[in-house]
Amino acid sequence: MNKRLMLLLPLVLIVSLFPSQMVSNVHASGYTGTGLVCITSPATATNCSNSAPTIGPVTVGSTFTVGVFINNSQPMGGFDIYVAVNASYLNPTNATLGPLIASPSLTNICIDGSAQTGACTTGTVNGPGVVEASTVESSGTNECSNAPPCSGLAFNITYMVVGPTASTPIFYPADGAGCSPSSVATPTDVCVLVPDALGNTLPENIQGARVAQGVTVNPTSTALSCNSPDTVGMSTKCTATVTDTATSGATNPTGQVTFSTSGSGGFSPSACTLSSIGTNQAACFTSYTPTSVGTGNHNIGASYPGDTVHTGSTATSFSLTISPASPIVSTMVILETTGSPVTTNVPVGSSVHETAVLIGGYPATGVSGTVTYTLYSNGNCGSPGTIGARVTVATSNNVPNSPSFIISSPGNYSFQAVYSGDSSNAPETSGCVLVIFGSTTTSAVICSPNPATMDASTSCTATVTDTSASPTTPSGTVSFGTNSTGTFTSIMSCTLAAGTTTGTASCTVTYTPTVTGHHLITSSYGGDSTHATSANTLNMPVVIHTTTAPASTILGLSPAIFYSIIGAIVVVAAALLAFLALRRRSKALQQSAPVSTAS
Residue 121 reports pLDDT greater than 90? no
Q: What is the pLDDT of residue 528?
A: 86
Name, in order, each residue with C-beta under 8 angstroms of 578's C-beta and a sequence gap of 6 or more.
none
Band the pLDDT of 547: cuts 50, 70, 90. low
Q: What is the pLDDT of residue 8?
A: 28
Q: What is the pLDDT of residue 597?
A: 44
Going through 208-251 in order, the beta strands assigned E by DSSP cover 209-213, 220-226, 230-231, 236-244
Q: Please tell me which residue, 553 or 367, carries the higher pLDDT value.
A: 367
Q: What is the mean pLDDT of residues 2-26?
A: 32
Render pLDDT for 266-311 as a digit per residue (tens, 0 to 9): 999 999 999 999 999 999 999 999 999 999 999 999 999 999 889 9
Which of 506, 521, 543 is the last residue before a domain boundary? Answer: 543
Q: Residue 152 belongs to a domain with what CATH number?
A: 2.60.40.680
Going through 394-546 in order, the beta strands assigned E by DSSP cover 405-406, 411-419, 428-429, 433-438, 441-448, 452-453, 458-466, 477-482, 486-488, 493-495, 497-498, 504-513, 517-525, 534-543
Band the pLDDT of 49: cuts 50, 70, 90. very high
C-alpha count within 13 angstroms, C-beta hemisphere, residue 275 = 4
Strands 433-438 and 346-347: parallel
Q: What is the pLDDT of residue 101?
A: 97
Residue 407 lies in a domain: yes
Q: What is the pLDDT of residue 505?
A: 97
Q: What is the pLDDT of residue 594?
A: 57
Residue 599 reports pLDDT greater than 50? no
Q: Are residues 433 and 489 in the same domain?
A: no
Q: Are residues 170 and 274 in the same domain?
A: no
Q: Please tell me which residue, 573 or 84, carries the higher pLDDT value.
A: 84
Render pLDDT for 416-466 as a digit per residue (tens, 0 to 9): 999 999 999 999 999 999 988 888 899 999 999 999 999 999 999 999 999
Q: What percent of the chain has pLDDT over 90?
A: 71
Render pLDDT for 533-542 as a digit per residue (tens, 0 to 9): 899 999 999 9
Residue 593 lies in a domain: no
C-beta contacts of 216-219 below 8 A and 24+ residues apart: 216/246, 216/249, 216/309, 217/166, 217/306, 217/308, 217/309, 217/310, 217/311, 218/244, 218/245, 218/246, 218/249, 218/250, 218/251, 218/309, 218/310, 218/311, 219/244, 219/245, 219/246, 219/310, 219/311, 219/313
Q: What is the pLDDT of residue 5?
A: 30
Q: What is the mean pLDDT of residues 358-381?
A: 94
pTM of the predicted structure, to 2 decimals: 0.55
Render pLDDT for 66-104 as a digit per residue (tens, 0 to 9): 999 999 999 999 999 999 999 999 999 999 999 999 999
Residue 299's domain spans which residues?
220-323
Q: Residue 282 belongs to a domain with what CATH number?
A: 2.60.40.10
516 neighbors 544 (Cβ within 8 angstroms): yes
Q: Are residues 335 and 475 in the same domain?
A: no
Q: Please tell me which residue, 168 or 597, carries the higher pLDDT value.
A: 168
Q: What is the pLDDT of residue 48?
A: 96
Residue 564 lies in a domain: no
Reduced to 3 states, what is the DSSP secondary structure of residue 108?
strand
Least confident of 242-251, 321-330, 480-489, 558-567: 558-567
Residue 551 lies in a domain: no
Q: What is the Cα–Cα distance from 33 to 75, expressed in whole angstroms?
A: 10
Per the rule left: phi > 0, alpha: psi between -120 and 50, beta: everything else, 555 is left
Q: What is the pLDDT of residue 14?
A: 27
Q: Is 66 exposed, middle or buried (0-12, 13-18, 19+ CB in 10 A)?
A: buried
Residue 586 lies in a domain: no
Going through 98-214 in order, the beta strands assigned E by DSSP cover 104-111, 114-117, 130-137, 150-161, 167-170, 192-193, 204-207, 209-213
Q: Please tell me which residue, 329 or 337, carries the higher pLDDT value.
A: 329
- Round the average pLDDT of the chain to a whole number and report it: 89
Q: What is the pLDDT of residue 529?
A: 80
Q: Please tell me which residue, 41 or 573, carries the higher pLDDT value.
A: 41
Q: What is the pLDDT of residue 19?
A: 35
Q: Are residues 105 and 250 in the same domain?
A: no
Q: What is the Cα–Cα distance from 159 to 209, expressed in whole angstroms?
A: 13
Q: Are residues 169 and 303 in the same domain?
A: no
Give residue 422's identity as a one-letter amino acid code.
D
Q: Are residues 445 and 434 in the same domain?
A: no
Q: What is the Cα–Cα distance from 422 to 363, expressed in whole angstroms?
A: 11
Q: Are residues 103 and 83 in the same domain?
A: yes
Q: What is the Cα–Cα distance from 420 to 371, expressed in whole angstroms?
A: 6
Q: What is the pLDDT of residue 21?
A: 36
Residue 49 lies in a domain: yes
452 neighbors 474 (Cβ within 8 angstroms): no
Q: What is the pLDDT of residue 7?
A: 28
Band the pLDDT of 553: cuts 50, 70, 90. confident
Q: What is the Cα–Cα distance from 517 to 485, expressed in whole angstroms?
A: 10
Provide the number of structural domains found in the chain. Answer: 4
335 neighbors 317 (Cβ within 8 angstroms): no
466 neighbors 473 (Cβ within 8 angstroms): yes
Q: What is the Cα–Cα distance from 381 to 443, expressed in whole angstroms?
A: 33
Q: Are residues 449 and 406 in the same domain?
A: no
Q: Are residues 490 and 530 in the same domain?
A: yes
Residue 260 reports pLDDT greater than 70? yes
Which of 423, 438, 453 is the last residue before a domain boundary? Answer: 438
Q: What is the pLDDT of residue 258?
A: 98
Q: Please tell me which residue, 102 or 594, carries the higher pLDDT value.
A: 102
Q: What is the pLDDT of residue 26?
A: 37
Least confident of 104-113, 341-350, 545-554: 545-554
Q: Are residues 317 and 342 in the same domain?
A: no
Band the pLDDT of 582: cuts 50, 70, 90. confident
Q: What is the pLDDT of residue 396?
A: 95
Q: Are residues 497 and 426 in the same domain?
A: no
Residue 377 lies in a domain: yes
C-alpha count within 13 angstroms, C-beta hemisphere, residue 158 = 8
Residues in the chain, total: 599
Q: What is the pLDDT of residue 124?
A: 84
Reduced to 3 states, what is the DSSP secondary structure of residue 333?
strand
Render pLDDT for 198-244 as a digit per residue (tens, 0 to 9): 999 999 999 999 999 888 899 999 999 999 999 999 999 999 999 99
Q: What is the Cα–Cα distance from 250 to 243, expressed in whole angstroms?
A: 9
Ranges of H-type helices in 16-160: none
- Using alpha carbons, list the distances in angstroms from residue 243 to 253, 279, 282, 373: 7, 9, 7, 58
Q: What is the pLDDT of residue 13?
A: 26
Residue 23 lies in a domain: no
Q: What is the mean pLDDT of residues 400-404?
A: 96
Q: What is the pLDDT of residue 593?
A: 58
Which of 159, 180, 213 is the last residue before a domain boundary? Answer: 213
The radius of gyration of the chain from alpha carbons, rounded to an integer in Å, stands at 58
The DSSP result for 418-451, as a single string, is: EE---SSB--EEPPPEEEEEEB-EEEEEEEESSS
Q: Please tell me which residue, 584 or 598, carries the higher pLDDT value.
A: 584
Q: Are residues 409 and 299 in the same domain?
A: no
Q: What is the pLDDT of residue 524?
A: 95
Q: What is the mean pLDDT of residues 246-271?
A: 96
Q: What percent of the chain has pLDDT over 70?
A: 92
